């Protein structure tokens, strides 16, 4: 009776790890551009959690891979929303993305503050890009779509 229970517990522990790693592929497969941006930002948040865990283990090489995945996810989210062609003021997805990027930026800052002084530059490019995407989304939500 203990063996099936331990196998079930192992599967339950490993299942979220595999799902978190495959989310960007799931986002890329999403035909709806707005939903794609939401899935990409969820993947960025999961990758940030993985980066923190990897940093705690001392695996800076994997942290660099996680940072690249976060960057790719944020870029995918921004490109998907831009490609949707919708007015940012009238779409809830733009506001959700703005809130998600703001939260992601704050968590990246907190993670960087907890890192060793020598490791902090690893997040500088990521932090700058997330802030840029957030500012563009905020400006779009506040100003709306430019009239032609």
Q: How far is CA 118 from CA 5, 61, 94, in A?
A: 44, 14, 36
The runs of H, that is alpha helices, within 30-148 are: 33-57, 60-84, 92-114, 124-143
* pLDDT for res 146: 63
Q: Per-10-residue mean pLDDT for the chain, 148 residues long? A: 45 44 80 94 96 94 95 96 91 94 97 94 95 94 72
Q: Where are the domains of the chain?
A: 23-143
């Amino acid at each position: 009776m203990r063996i099936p229970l331990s196998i079930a517990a192992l599967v339950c522990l490993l299942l979220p790890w595999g799902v978190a790693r495959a989310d960007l592929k799931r986002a890329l497969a999403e035909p709806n551009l707005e939903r794609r941006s939401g899935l990409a930002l969820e993947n960025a948040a999961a990758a940030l959690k993985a980066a923190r865990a990897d940093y705690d283990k001392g695996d800076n090489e994997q942290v660099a891979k996680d940072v690249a995945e976060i960057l790719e996810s944020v870029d995918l989210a921004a490109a998907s929303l831009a490609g949707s062609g919708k007015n940012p003021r009238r779409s809830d997805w733009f506001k959700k993305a703005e809130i998600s990027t703001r939260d992601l930026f704050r968590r990246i800052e907190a993670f960087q503050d907890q890192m060793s002084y020598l490791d902090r530059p690893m997040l500088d490019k990521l932090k700058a890009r997330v802030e840029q995407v957030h500012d563009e989304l905020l400006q779009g939500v506040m100003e709306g779509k430019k009239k032609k």
